[in-house]
């Protein structure tokens, strides 16, 4: 059995009076790909942002490699550099070229010399078909290209874990495939990932496990073959029926 990368116990998170996460328990092992599905507002994004310490949690524990990262005095920056996150809206830095976007973390956080960071970035960009975009600025790229650059930017830190937060939701339908194929390649390479997604077909293909979130709880957790064909919870069935009716699966 491979090692546990993430363990979440009894995680609660509220924004003012709105309780978004109401007791999440989840463990993810090395090389595992876990997809979070559920309606908008069910807490998928908030859960990912909590794992990366971008949101302060109210109760519970998050362990990364068996170290509790929610204890006071933990260096959040040290944790974050090992966890890559890719956002729905790409969040590339518009004032920097693609190369500078990708090398910012390695140069300023890992303190790599410029030429080494750039060699590394160039190699990663080439691997994902972006070699000729090195010197472009983000606003000159298509949405699909921007999102692939954002993935490369996260990968450049050589993270142990990748969090993907609905990374195809802001894309035109014809651009979704190129981004998903990048994620497939990462999965094939053994990257541990937690993926919040509305792409059910993709989740079924790529996930080792699928978690259905409803109102801030993980209602159902299992292999995609079971969740998608024989969900036990009525809420899961209802959600999947709606997704099928909407033609998203």
* Minimum separation from the CB atom of position 49 to other proteins (A): 8
Q: How far apart are CA 164 and CA 12, in angstroms?
A: 21
- Name the one range near other proteins by CB under 8 A: 38-46, 90-98, 194-202, 238-246: 90-98
Contacts of 139 (CB under 8 A, 6+ apart): 94
Task: Say if CB 98 and CB 90 are below 8 A apart.
Answer: no
Q: How far apart are CA 20 and CA 18, in angstroms?
A: 6
66 binds other proteins (CB under 8 A): no
What is the dihedral sign for C-alpha 131, 132, 133, 135? positive
157 binds other proteins (CB under 8 A): yes
The CA distances from residue 168 to 12, 79, 238, 243, in Å, are 27, 26, 23, 16
94 binds other proteins (CB under 8 A): yes
104 binds other proteins (CB under 8 A): yes
Count, residues near other proteins per rule CB under 8 A: 24
- Number of residues in the chain: 249
Q: How far apart are CA 117 and CA 57, in angstroms?
A: 34
Among 24, 28, 69, 85, contact with other proteins (rule: CB under 8 A): 85
Q: How far apart are CA 227 and CA 37, in angstroms?
A: 10
Residue (130 or 218) nearer to other proteins, CB: 130
64 binds other proteins (CB under 8 A): no
74 binds other proteins (CB under 8 A): no
105 binds other proteins (CB under 8 A): yes
73 binds other proteins (CB under 8 A): no
* Minimum separation from the CB atom of position 32 to other proteins (A): 21
78 binds other proteins (CB under 8 A): yes
What are the residues binding other proteins (CB under 8 A)?
Answer: 52, 54, 77-78, 80-81, 83-85, 87, 89, 91-95, 104-105, 108-109, 139, 153-154, 157
């Amino acid at each position: 059995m491979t090692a546990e990368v993430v363990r979440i116990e009894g995680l609660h998170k509220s924004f003012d009076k709105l309780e978004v996460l109401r007791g999440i328990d989840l463990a993810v092992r090395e090389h595992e790909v876990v997809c979070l599905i559920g309606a908008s507002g069910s807490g998928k994004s908030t859960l990912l942002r909590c794992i990366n310490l971008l949101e302060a949690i109210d109760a519970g524990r998050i362990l990364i490699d068996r170290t509790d990262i929610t204890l006071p005095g933990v260096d959040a920056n040290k944790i974050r550099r090992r966890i890559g996150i890719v956002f729905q809206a790409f969040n590339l830095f518009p004032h920097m070229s693609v190369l500078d976007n990708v090398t910012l973390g390695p140069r300023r956080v890992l303190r790599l010399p410029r030429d080494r960071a750039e060699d590394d970035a160039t190699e990663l960009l080439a691997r994902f078909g972006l070699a000729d975009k090195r010197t472009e600025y983000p606003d000159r790229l298509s949405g699909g290209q921007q999102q692939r650059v954002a993935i490369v930017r996260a990968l450049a830190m050589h993270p142990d874990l990748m969090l993907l937060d609905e990374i195809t939701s802001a894309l035109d339908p014809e651009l979704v495939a190129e981004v998903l194929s990048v994620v497939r390649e990462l999965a094939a390479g053994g990257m541990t990932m937690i993926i919040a997604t509305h792409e059910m077909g993709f989740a079924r293909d790529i996930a080792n496990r699928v978690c259905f979130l409803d109102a801030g709880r993980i209602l159902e957790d299992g292999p995609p073959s079971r969740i998608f064909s024989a969900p036990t919870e009525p809420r899961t069935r209802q959600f999947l029926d709606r997704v099928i009716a909407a033609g998203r699966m």
